[in-house]
Amino acid sequence: MIESLAKLAQNALRHWPLSVSDLELIKYRENAVFRVNTTGGERYALRIHRPGYVSQAAINSELEWMAALSTAGLDVPRVVPTLNGELLITQSDPDVPEPRVVDLFEWVDGDILRVHLDRAIEANDRAEIVRLFEQVGETMGRLHNHACEWKTPDGFERPAWDLEGFVGERPFWGRFWELELLSAEQKDLMRRVRQRLSQDLAVYGSTRDNFSLIHADLNFDNVMVEGDKVRPIDFDDAGFGWHLFDMSVTLNHLFFDRLEPLATGALVAGYRRARPISDAELEHLPLFMTMRSCSYLGWIRDRQEVSEIIERAPKLIENACRAAEAYLAK
């Protein structure tokens, strides 16, 4: 399949005015991402979308928001239009079962945030950990400011990370409480926490101040760090959701870790450089941290054919159950 997708990528590149020297696969988990090297030394990232995740209109809307963010001065990957001025194309190949949506971005230099955090943690460099989370927090606040002020174009379509999208009958990432890998006791725990989350989300509510377009996947692999600059990448899951959920995504991999309070304080401090958020609002963060942990089980349930995801499943199940027990004990 990788060879077939590479051939599809080569054919798709005819839609852009590039003189390509070679392609290099850099990621293949759900989408396939290739680095495009040109004879002139420029580099680009070509993304081949997974089939059936969201509609072509939703992908186009993702790119429209990214283009608007770039125009507004936020440092996000710049979408490269085709020769016809389109943001994406649909490409077919005889060896690929279905047509694929393809788009192209300018290359983003640097290393992922995970690499920098691992170095800082290994060196016990708390100042660097604080600096990194403050910068991510400030970037997140600027994204939310833009989303709250931006008028979406006609036909704009993105998923909703809302009550129905998490704990409704058809969650966007799947029915986490029914994951086949759970024991009977774990399924009961997930059903109970689902009910509690549903009640608490309904009480919390969504307003113009706490809910807008969000990135929804600002984890340690989706932030690039170059020098003193951070840049969010991979807006594939961007949609309408709570601002606190965006925070919970960034913090989730440190949930229950000794560094969680330090990271949370730094993220909030950076966020407040760009956008106000009250201490009373932040008291609801455990709700969204728990929801993020549980939603991973739905993510697993809909992707059990991917060996890498199944390998991660035991740890994600352990984290979700721990989060659910702690939340229900409140």
For 259-268, what is the mean pLDDT? 97
Domain identity same for 126 and 173:
yes
Q: Of 60, 81, 106, which residue sits at a domain end?
A: 106
CB 102 within 8 A of CB 91: yes
User: How confident is the model at residue 309, as a pLDDT?
Assistant: 80
Tokens of 115: 């690499």
HSE on the CB side for 296, CA within 13 Å? Answer: 25
Domain identity same for 84 and 151:
no
All residues at 6 or more sequence positions from 25 whose CB lies less than 8 Å from its CB, including other chains: 2, 5, 6, 32, 33, 34
All residues at 6 or more sequence positions from 154 whose CB lies less than 8 Å from its CB, including other chains: none
pLDDT band at 15 (very low <50, low <70, confident <90, very high): very high
Backbone angles phi, psi at 200, to 5 degrees: -70, -35
Q: Of 106, 123, 153, which residue sits at a domain end?
A: 106
Q: Of 106, 125, 145, which residue sits at a domain end?
A: 106
pLDDT digits (tens, 9 = 90+) for 131-140: 999 999 999 9
Domain identity same for 190 and 258:
yes
Domain identity same for 283 and 177:
yes
pLDDT digits (tens, 9 = 90+) for 284-321: 999 999 999 999 999 998 787 677 788 889 999 999 99
Residue 284 structural domain? 111-328
Domain identity same for 44 and 117:
no
pLDDT band at 83 (very low <50, low <70, confident <90, very high): very high
Domain identity same for 117 and 253:
yes
For 11-20, what is the mean pLDDT? 95
Domain identity same for 31 and 178:
no
For 180-189, what is the mean pLDDT? 97
pTM: 0.94
Looking up residue 150, the CATH number of its domain turns out to be: 3.90.1200.10
Domain identity same for 99 and 175:
no
pLDDT digits (tens, 9 = 90+) for 201-250: 999 999 999 999 999 999 999 999 998 899 999 999 999 999 999 999 99
Domain identity same for 53 and 132:
no
Q: How many CB atoms lie within 10 A of CB 38?
A: 14
User: How confident is the model at residue 30, as a pLDDT?
Assistant: 82
Domain identity same for 95 and 120:
no
pLDDT digits (tens, 9 = 90+) for 16-39: 999 999 999 998 888 999 999 999
Looking up residue 95, the CATH number of its domain turns out to be: 3.30.200.20
Q: State how many domains the chain has.
A: 2
